Structure 1
C-alpha cells in the first residue's frame, strides 16, 4: 500500500510496483491510508512523512495500536534526512526509510528485502507459537499409554532463551477426551475441528487483554503479564475472566461438533482450564517492531498441571489460591481442596471458579483481532496436531504388531495372534480380541503400554501377573495360554469371555441360591490363589469373568501381591483396589493379606443379594471412611439368613473375619443345610 499526498509520486510508485507483479492499493492522505490499511491488511506500507491533516508519524502510531497491523512492515518515504526524524520513526516501529528521489532498483530492493524479512519473522513466530511435531507426538502418545505428559516448556527451550523475570498470571487449557476424538475422526477432520475451536478460543483471551503464546496440539497457553499499567489484581481477574469465557466458548462449540460429526459416537466436547499466578520469565520471540513473547518457568507448568486435574475434580475452570487471592472479591468460587501436583513436594490449594460477581463473561467470536502470524500458527498447529495424533495411534498399533502390514485386508498381528478389535483399556495395558493362528481360537490379548526401558516396576508387575496365573490351574481362575515379548512389546494371551463379567450379571438383586453359588465359586478361586501365596488386592465384579456355561473365573492380577517373593512388597501408605470394594486396611494404606480379599468378596456378596453396594458416599474420602468405621449393613428379611456370612466377611478388623476362603465355603454349606432342613420341615408329610 502506498500512502502519498502528491499524485505524481503516488502514481509512479504504483506503476513501478504493478509492473513487477505486486498488487497495489493507494491512499492520498493519512486518514484514508489508515482506513484502507484496516480494510485490506496489506503486506507492506510505503508512507510519506509530510502530509496534511495527519503526518506519517501519526499514521504509524495509529497502525501500531491495531493488533492486525502492529507487525506490518512500514517504510517511510522522505526527502529529509534528519537523524531526529529517523529515531522518532524507529521508536514508533518503522522498519526502513526510502529517501526521495529514489530509483526503480532502490524501490524494488527495499520492498523485496522488507517482505523477505517479514516472511522469515512470521515463519519464526509461527514456529514459536506451535509445538514441534515431535513434542506433539510425544504428548498424544502419553495420552494413549497413560505415561506422564511432558512439561509444557522443554529443557532445551530453557537453555536457549534469555528473558526477564517478571510476574504474570498464566492460563492453560485443553480439550478433554481428545485422544478418543482423534481415534474416531480422520486427520483432516481433526485439523478442521482444532482450527475451528482454537480460533474461537483465542477470542476471550484477546478480549481480556491476554497474549496467546503457545499452541500445543489441543492445548492453548496464554499469559497475562503484570505491569504498572496492568497491575496484578487486574490481570489475575482478566485471566479468570478469559478462563470462564473459554468454558463458555466450549459449551457453544459442542453444538458445532454435534452438527458437523453426527452419529460418530464422539464424547461430549468439553475443556479444562488451569490458572496460576506467580513469577515467569518473559522472552521475546518476534522480530523488530513485534511485541510477541513467550513465557517459561514453574508458574507455567503449575497452570498446566492444574488443567490436568480439572477432569478428576470435575471442575471446568480451576484456579490456584495465588490467583484467587490476587483477583479479589470479584471471583465467585465453589469448592476448594489441596493437591500435590506431579513434580512438586508441597500441596497447593485450588478453587473451582464458578463465575464473576461484577462482570459479564466475554466470549467474542470474531476473528478480526488475530494477527496473520496467529492465524498461520492456528492452521499449522491444527494440521500438525492432527498428523501427530494419528501418528501416535499408528505408533501404538505398530507396538502391538510384529511387522507393519500395508494391505488393508491384512489384520494387525503380534507374535502368533491376529488382532481383531480392542476390548478395553486401562492405565497400563490394553486388551484386544485376537485370533490364534494355529487353530483360529479367539483369545484375549493383553498388551502392556510400556516398552523395555520404560518404568521397570510397571513391566515387572505385568510379567509377574502372567507368571502368577500360569502356575495356577483352577476352574474358577482365568486360563493363560501364552505370554512373552514380541517386537519389544510384552503380552499375555488368555481366555476370552464373550459374556463379559459379573458386573453384567449383577444388574439387580439375584436369587439367594444364585448369589450363594457365585459366592462359592469366587471363594474357591480366592482359596486357590491364597494357598499359592497370592493376595489379589482388587476383588470386584468386573474382575470375575463369566464363561458361556455361567461359571465365573477370577482375572486381572495386575496389582496382586505374591507373598512367596519380596518383589511386590507394598510401600507403606500405598493403596491398591477399587474404592467401592476396598478393605479397611487398603483404605488406610496399611498391610494387606488374604483377609483383605475376603472383605471385598463380602461387599460383592451384599451387592448380589440386594442389588446395591453396601456403602455410597458423595466423596472418595467419605466412602473410604465408611469402609473403615461403618458396621456391615443389614440384609432384607428375605435373605437375613445370609447376614452371618456378610458379617464374617465384612468385619472391620481382619482378625474378626473368616480366617480363610475355606471357612467361607463352610459357612455357605451351613446356610445351605439350614435352608434344606427348613424346606424339609415345611414340606407336607407323605
Structure 2
C-alpha cells in the first residue's frame, strides 16, 4: 500500500483529489498548508506528495525543497499542482526535484493518469488493478486482457476505437457532506452495484471506481456480436433506468436526511485508449472526453450524453436508436467542438437481411458447438467478476466515505482556529468564502461568509460535536435537514449543512441588524410585543409540527430583519454543545440540565422530558421581558434563580399590559399540561385581544 499526501490550501481541491484517489491500494492524508505538510511527511513517510504551488506563508516550492533536502525522502516522489503553466515555473520546480506537474483545474482521470505515471516509475505497477478481475488467478486475468486486445486488432495496448462509459452521481460532494460515513458507504454500495451489473452483462471491461464515478471500456469481442458502442449505450440505458430504484432506496433508508432527488450523469465517447496489460489501467483522450460529457449532462439536463462518434458507430449495427436533443460542446484538449446527442432509447437491432440471417445461423451453430465446453468456464468467470465487483465496491465505498469525512473534518477544524483577516489567501468551504470571524466560544465559532454562486452574505456556524454522544449528533443532523426544507418568514433560512464524526457546519441566513437582545432597551408598547409574540409563535408552530423542539428559546436566538420582524434561529445547538449564549452561564447537571437559566422551563430544570410546551414557557419569559424591559426572575444565585422558575408565582404585567396577563399566565404555568397545548391555541387567544393590540 502506498501513502499519498495531498497538500493544497483549497479545501475543494484536496477533497476532489482524495475522492478521486480513494481506494484499497492507497493510504491518503492531506494538509492545508506547507508547515502542516512537512509535519505530516515526517510522521507518515509518504511515497508520493501532491503539492500546490500557490499557498500562503510557505509555497509549494519551499515545501518541495524541504522534502528533497531530507535524506530520508530519497525515494519520495512529488507532483506539483499549479494554475501557472509558464515554462519558468515548471523549470524552477524541476530544478528543485519535482517529478511531475499537473495544471489546475484537472479532471479526476487526469489526476489518476498522472499518479499512475509516477507509480510506474517506481516499479509499482501492481497498485492499480482491474477492479472487475481483481482477485482472480493471474493467468485468468492475463488471458482475458489478451483476448480483448487481440480482437481490437492491435496486438498491443493501444486501442483506437474503444467505447468508454463514464457515470457518476450529480453533486455528490454536497450529498456526502450531509450523510454519516456509514450511510454514505451504503449509498455508494447500492449505486455501484446497480451501475456495475449492466456494465458486466454487456461485456464491459477494465471497470474502475474513482470517487463516486464508474468508468468502463467496451471493445470488439468474439463473445459479443453487438458493436461495442451499441453495448455501451445499452449499459448506459440500463444504468439510467436504475435511477428510480436508487431514489426509492434513498427515500426508504436515508429519509431522515431529506436529500435532494438523486440523479446520475453518463458520458459516452469512442476513441483512442491505452490499456496497461499488467494493471488494466485505462487512459487516453477518450477517457477524458467521456468524463467531460458526464459533467456536461447536468448543465444540459440529459442523463445520457453520447458523442457523435458513438452514435455513428452504434448506428451501423442499430439504425433505430432513439435520440433526443443535440448540441456542440467545447471539450478541453480537443481542437474542435464535440457534437453530442441525448440518448433516449436503445432499441433492439433492426430486422436482418437474408445474408445477415444466414451468417447469424452459421455463427449460432459454431457457438452452440462450443457452448458445452465453454459454458462452465464462462459462467465461472461471470460469477467471479460479479463477486469481485461486490468486494471491490464495498472496499472502495468504505475508503471514499472515510476520506470524504476526514477531509471535511480537517477543513472545519481549520475554520475554527483560523481568522480569515489574518491570511493572504481566502479560506473556502464547499461553495463559501469566509469574510471574517463574528465570534467564537469553547465549542463553536461563527463566521461571516460570501456565497460563491451569487456573492450573498451568509453566516457559517461551525460546531464541535461529542463523538461519545452519537444519538444527540444524529438528532441534530435530522432536525437541521428537516429545517432546511421549511420556507417560513419567521424561521431562519438554512442553505447548506454538513457534518463529520466530531464537527458540523451550518450555512444560514445573515442578519445585519443583529438579534432581539440588542433591541430590548426597555418596555415595548403592547402592540409591538404582541406582534413579535405572534411571529415567534407562528415559527414555533411550524417547527413543532415537524416534531422539533427548539430547547433554547431566548432573545439571542431571535434575529431581526430590516423591517423589525423577528426570525427564529439556532435550533437545538445548546442541547448539542452545552453552550448557552448571551450573559447566562451554561448549565450541566448530571449531563442533562443544559440551557439558559433565565428562560428555562421547570421541567428542564428537573431534567424531565423537554416538549413543545417547554418552548412555550421560554416564550412566556421572553414575552414578559418584551413587555417590561426586564426578566421575570432575577437573582445573583443560580440555585435561587432555578428555584424561582420552579416555585415562584407568575409575575404580574404593568397596568399598560394588564389585558395580556391571562396569556402570560398560561404560557408560564409551572406544569406543562396547564400551558397551551399548541401554538395555534395561543394565536387564537391573541385574536380575542383588542384589534389594535393584535396587529401582526
TM class by smaller structure: 0.3 to 0.5
Higher relative contact order (CA 8 A, sep 6+): 2
TM-score scaled by structure 1?
Answer: 0.39
TM-score scaled by structure 2?
Answer: 0.38
